[in-house]
Amino acid sequence: MTRCLVTLLAWRRIGLVVWCLSFPQVSSANELDVQAQYDAALICAVYHRMIAGALKASDAGVLFDDAEVRAVKAWRETQALGRTLGMDDEALQWDWSDQLQVFNQMINFNYRNIRQLKVRYQDRCSGENLD
């Protein structure tokens, strides 16, 4: 909307007013799409981090390394989408913390119950393009 107002003030044309009024609607649709992508990426980033934590706790070795790489890549994707939405580090950390709390409650704060997360999120988060 700022770009629109600057253009409007610079040109002062009625045609630009119509463009300016329709621009936020297009922007809002794109922001909703990015928001949905961000929400999905956040869920998968926290999921991968918790899977990595569970593997580390069970001394899974090589499996842990792969899970750790997936967790880091998923977090970077989440950060990039968050930045697109104008989020700062604090907002990203709050969202991470909230999602982590939800997942911890799902497994009753016990990594031995991680299977509950796998059943619900494994398929959804395995199809990501994290390479």
Q: Which residue has the tokens 């398929």?
A: 123
- pLDDT on residue 29: 66
Sign of CA pseudo-dihedral 54, 58, 60, 61: positive
Q: Quote the CA–CA distance of 78 and 13 in Å, as a whole number.
A: 40
Q: Quote the CA–CA distance of 90 and 33 in Å, as a whole number.
A: 22
Q: How sure is the predictor about 21, in pLDDT bands with cuts at 50, 70 and 90?
A: very low
- pLDDT on residue 59: 87
Q: Quote the CA–CA distance of 83 and 80 in Å, as a whole number.
A: 5
pTM of the model: 0.73
